[in-house]
Amino acid sequence: MIVGPTESSPAEGKISLESCVGSALMGHKEGDEVDVKAPAGVIKYQIVSVQ
């Protein structure tokens, strides 16, 4: 779940929209694959659900 920065809690599956992952996923739709550039390298994510 992508949330505002004050609501983020990775342990609860809530990612800040200001994070590398959150900002990269914004604007994409269900089924999209997104490459996210993170400090550890490029990580590929697939969006499985949008609510």
Read off the pLDDT of residues 1-49 as tens digits, 9 standing for 90 and up. 899 999 999 899 899 999 988 999 999 999 999 999 888 899 999 999 8
From the list 18, 23, 20, the residue with the least C-alpha distance to 38 is 20
Give alpha helix (H) positions in the chain.
Answer: 20-25
| DSSP H or E stretch at residue 35 | strand 33-38
Q: Please give the Cα distance from 35 to 27 (Å, whole number).
A: 13
Tell me, what's the pLDDT at 14? 93
2-46: CATH architecture: Roll (3.10)
Tell me, what's the pLDDT at 51? 82
Check if the beta carbon of residue 29 is closer than 8 Å to that of residue 15.
no
Q: Is the pTM of this model over 0.85?
A: no
CB burial of residue 3 (10 Å; 0-12, 13-18, 19+): middle
